[in-house]
Amino acid sequence: MISTSIFASLRPFPARAQFRVAGRCLVALGSPTYVRYASHKSSKAMKAMKSLKKAEPAKPSVPKPSVPKPSVPKPSVPKPSVPKPSVPKPKTSATVPKAKATRPAPTKEAAKSQEPSVAITPESYILLEQQLGSKAGPTVLYRKSHWKLVLGCYAMTATGIWAGLDYYYVNIMAPVGVPSWVTWTHYVGVFFISIGVVITFMYPARMIRSIHAIPYRPTPESLPSIKLQIQSNNILSFLPAIKTEAPLNEICLGRKLSPSRQPVQEEIPEGAFAKFTHALSTGPSRIFYSLKSTLTKERIVPVTVKSSYLGFKLRDDGWQWERRGLDRLIGTDKKW
pLDDT at 158: 93
* CA nearest to 154, candidates 295, 309, 7: 295
CB 140 within 8 A of CB 212: yes
Q: Which residues contact 90 (CB under 8 A, 6 or more apart)?
A: none
- Distance, in Å, from the CA atom of 161 to the CA atom of 165, rounded to the nearest integer, reads 6
Amino acid 94: pLDDT: 47
Q: Which candidate, 298, 281, 280, places its Cα nearest to that of 289?
A: 298
**Which 8-state DSSP code applies to residue 298?**
T
Q: Are strands 242-247 and 300-305 parallel, antiparallel or unpaired?
A: unpaired
Domain-wise residue ranges, the chain: 2-54, 138-329
**pTM score over 0.95:** no
Environment class of 284 (CB within 10 Å of its CB; exposed 0-12, middle 13-18, buried 19+): exposed
Closest CA to 305 of 232, 249, 237, 258: 249
pLDDT at residue 230, rounded to an integer:
92
d(CA 75, CA 79): 12
Give the model's pLDDT for residue 319. Answer: 72
Q: In the prediction, which pLDDT does 92 show?
A: 46
pLDDT of residue 65: 56
d(CA 60, CA 64): 12
Dihedral sign, Cα of residue 78, residue 82, residue 83, residue 89: negative
Q: Name the packing angle between helices 33-55 and 2-9 (round to 10°).
A: 10
Question: CB–CB of 303/253 below 8 Å?
Answer: yes
Taking only the tens of pLDDT, the chain with its 336 residues reads 555 565 566 666 666 666 676 666 655 555 555 445 455 555 665 676 666 555 555 555 555 656 556 565 565 655 655 556 555 555 544 454 554 555 555 555 555 455 444 455 554 445 777 788 888 889 888 888 888 888 888 999 999 999 888 888 877 777 788 888 888 888 888 889 899 899 889 888 888 999 999 998 877 788 888 899 999 998 888 888 889 999 888 888 888 775 555 555 566 667 778 888 888 888 888 888 877 776 677 778 889 898 888 788 888 777 766 666 677 788 777 776
Using alpha carbons, select from 320, 321, 323, 331 the residue that is nearest to residue 125.
331
